Amino acid sequence: MPTTQPYKAVAAFVLTFIGALIASIQGRPTLDGMGPVDWFVVVGSALVTAGAVYGVSNPPKTRP
């Protein structure tokens, strides 16, 4: 069984969090305009992505 590499999941969380945050604040002058639902979507999407990256095994391909 291949070992998991959690740094990939951490990188996926950070990148998804930043991307979703940027998408959520488009057209808003500050972060004060974000409500609880917006934060739930940003953090939730990052958690789901990180969980999928951590849970799905993707070992490198070996050459015959």
| Residue at 61 is within a domain | no
Question: Taking phi first (over 0 means left), then psi (-120 to 50 degrees means alpha), and beta for anything else, what does residue 27 get?
Answer: left
Measured CA to CA, the distance from residue 26 to residue 48 in angstroms comes to: 22
pLDDT of residue 1 exceeding 50? no
| Residue at 16 is within a domain | yes
Q: Which residues touch 57 (CB under 8 Å, ≥6 apart)? A: 1, 2, 4
Residue-wise pLDDT tens digits, 18-62:
999 999 998 888 878 888 999 999 999 999 999 998 888 766 677
Residue range of the domain that includes 46: 6-55
0.85 exceeded by the pTM? no
Q: Tell me, what DSSP letter sits at residue 18?
A: H
| Residue at 17 is within a domain | yes
For the chain, the domain total comes to 1
